[in-house]
Amino acid sequence: MKKFILLFALLVSLVANAQVTPEMISLVDKGVTISNVETVAAATSQTIHDAIIKWVATTYKNPKYVIKGDTPSIITIKGDGPYLKDPSIDIRYTVTVTFEIKEGRYKWTITDAKVSRPDLSSIEIPLQVTKNQSIEDIANKFSPYVENFQNSIKESCSEDW
């Protein structure tokens, strides 16, 4: 019964937190920053660190290329957001994600988000709020990417219990 309750609580927390909301988005000079703090109950900082590295390894074709910094308390990656591609046209989003890790929690921050159309040009344009793209549009665009790493990290951390 305890396992069932724990599993139910875990599933509820995954569904409740796995979405980017407009409140997580800050407008910065020439772009946006998206961040939030996630709680991973009873997980050590090492367990969270290992779960993030595992997510990077399974998400990106060349994990060593996208990892720009890796210490016990901070991991920084930079690369194409695999869940941010538009299937109808060749639009790519390149992002920098920083994970700050502490016991039982981590803070993720997406910065330096850029948009490109590789089929037309190699120019990258900073992701911005415009009359054609609201904060809500950006939140909806980034939700699948964020949900993917949130769920993967929580799942990996719960495997150790």
* DSSP assignment of 55-91: HHHHH-S-HHHHEEEE-SSEEEEEEE-TT--BTTTTB
Rounded CA-CA distance 150/76 in Å is 16
Token pair recorded at residue 91: 């639009």
The class of domain 2-159 in CATH terms is: alpha beta
| Predicted local distance difference test score (pLDDT) of residue 117 | 80
Q: Closest by alpha carbon to 156, among 13, 45, 47?
A: 47
Per the listing, tokens 């988005």 go with: 25
Convert 66-76 to b/e letters by CB count within 10 Å (16 or more is b).
bbeeeeeeebb
**Residue 117 has what DSSP assignment?**
-
The predicted-structure confidence for 21-31, as pLDDT tens digits, reads as follows: 888 899 888 78
H helix intervals, the chain = 2-17, 45-59, 63-66, 135-159
The predicted-structure confidence for 83-122, as pLDDT tens digits, reads as follows: 666 667 778 888 999 999 999 999 999 999 988 887 777 7
Q: Report which residue type is found at 141.
A: K
Q: In the structure, what pLDDT confidence band is assigned to residue 13 with cuts at 50, 70 and 90?
A: very low
Helix or strand or coil: residue 101?
strand
Rounded CA-CA distance 95/146 in Å is 12
Evaluate whether 135 touches 142 at the Cβ level (below 8 Å).
no
**Global confidence as pTM:** 0.82
Evaluate whether 143 touches 19 at the Cβ level (below 8 Å).
yes
Highest mean pLDDT among 4-8, 75-79, 127-131: 75-79
